[in-house]
Amino acid sequence: MKDRAAHRSGNAVPRIKGHWLTGSLSAYLKAPLDFYTECSKKYGDLAFGRFLHFPVCVLSDPRYVEELFVQRAQNLEQSRFLSAPLKPLLREGLLIADAVSHARQRPLVEKAVREGIAAVWAEEVVSAAERFAASWTNGKPRDFYIEMLRVISEVLAGAVFGTVPHAAETSALVNRAVDLVTDRMQQFPPIPDFVPTHVNREALKALREMDRTLSVAIHEARARATTKSGLLSALVVARGDDGTSLSEREIRDQLVMIHLAVRQNLAAALTWTFLLLCQSEASYSKVSHELESVVAAGRPGLAEAERLIYCDLVVKEILRLYPSVWQVLRHVVRDTQVGGHTIPAGTQVLISQWAFQRDTRFFDDPEEFIPERWEHPREEWKLAYFPFGMGPRGCFGERLTFLTVKMVLAVFTRNFRLQLLPNQNVKPLPLFALRPGGHVLMEARRGLADSVRE
């Protein structure tokens, strides 16, 4: 299959070099973060290539990203690279829903998330963090990413299912199905669902168990019909301006989508936060002093979270260096002009927050952890910094992300000072979320927390 060319003022667009059979897929699979960085350096702001026989286009200019993802968003759908393997799990979850379904469901889901659970979410985060802090023996090392997965799992169970019976068990079944499906996505070449491998059988079994349990939970929530017990209840009672509501199937799809989007991403964000603070004594001390000043002796809540200004800077910088969502892929449904170039229909467009947010064109000392840079944000960062995506399919979980990190910071800082065990070279692992590769061993030092506050 011949690649389709795009031209601007008669000049050919750069083409990404690759193997005659696989194109640049091997380079992408081997080191995806390096692939995006090298594309920007070698080929400029827009370059064409292919993964096997699939045409791809890598954008490295934030103006092009804004033009395509915001101004011409109607020409995009979720990439087949993502929607195909996730379809058995998400069905019509917002992440992969078609344009019509997405436009109908998103206002209802966004309303439920933004208006229905902020206070409940904050309470669940604080409670889960307090239980974890109380269980950590002083000086005993733990794998922090694994522990944060457990903390966020507890938060999801309480904040999503609320008082529905067997909330923890239901949430755990969703997490298991999510993990099996996303782990299967790492296989290459992909094995079709109908092939009865052990992994496929386990995933299918988990999906069936999850669906049966979720159906019971949704019926229970409909019977109770209250917005005060969690996101599930908020989704059940959510109504659009025209009176529309979500069907049982749609509620199921959005519950699974939220588990997929939240658990690994927040666990990764928390791990990177404390890892970088452990490596920056000055920043860790500033965080501790601000928390002591704002939260004092009470439990942290929504009001206190809004006043944690320096913590906000820390979270922004963490998400710049280690965005949980590290790439965005889209399928172009019709020929589209971007910056004078034609991106043909059928092309898979790829962009990477990792590459943009570490680019020297936009950020001074981009590899350094400098929260203070956000005290005076630059105009160009509005386009070059987008850890939650961009356009109508961008993530609306920004508030909950900042809230979660700040609440956990408040609880942990009051109880102990974390220390990263020596001789660890933690590298990012770009899977579904940009998580740490390998173990992140930390230990809690309670006496150090007290000395910082004095």
Angle between the N-to-C axes of helices 118-135 and 398-415, in degrees from 0 to 180, rounded to the nearest 10: 30
- Give the pTM: 0.94
Other C-beta atoms within 10 Å of 267: how many?
24
Domain residue limits, the chain: 61-453
Q: Which of 149, 327, 177, 150 is nearest to 257 (CA)?
A: 177
Give backbone dihedrals phi and psi of 358, rounded to 5 degrees, phi first. Answer: -120, 20
Residue 4 confidence (pLDDT): 32
Residue 223 confidence (pLDDT): 85
pLDDT tens across the length of the chain (454 residues): 233 334 343 467 899 999 999 999 999 999 999 999 999 999 999 999 999 999 999 999 999 999 999 999 999 999 999 999 999 999 999 999 999 999 999 999 998 887 768 889 999 999 999 999 999 988 789 999 999 999 999 999 999 998 888 999 999 999 999 999 999 988 888 888 889 999 999 999 999 999 999 999 999 988 877 545 789 999 999 998 899 999 999 999 999 999 999 999 999 999 999 999 999 999 999 999 999 999 977 789 999 999 999 999 999 999 999 999 999 999 999 999 999 999 999 999 999 999 999 999 999 999 999 999 999 999 999 999 999 999 999 998 899 999 999 999 999 999 999 999 999 999 999 999 999 999 999 999 986 555 544 4
Distance CA 369, CA 356 (A): 16
What is 61-453's CATH number? 1.10.630.10
Residue 194 confidence (pLDDT): 87
Measured in whole angstroms, how far is the alpha carbon of residue 139 from the centre of its chain?
31
Measured in whole angstroms, how far is the alpha carbon of residue 369 from the centre of its chain?
20
Which residue has tokens 């827009």? 46
Residue 116 confidence (pLDDT): 65
Question: Length of the chain, please?
Answer: 454
Measured in whole angstroms, how far is the alpha carbon of residue 224 from the centre of its chain?
31
Residue 3 confidence (pLDDT): 35
Residue 118 confidence (pLDDT): 84
- Considering only CA atoms, give the Rg of the chain: 22
Residue 139 confidence (pLDDT): 78
Residue 202 confidence (pLDDT): 96
Q: What are the pLDDT digits (tens) for 101-150? A: 999 999 999 988 877 688 899 999 999 999 999 999 887 899 999 999 99
Residue 443 confidence (pLDDT): 96
- Residue 369 · residue 280 · CB < 8 Å: yes
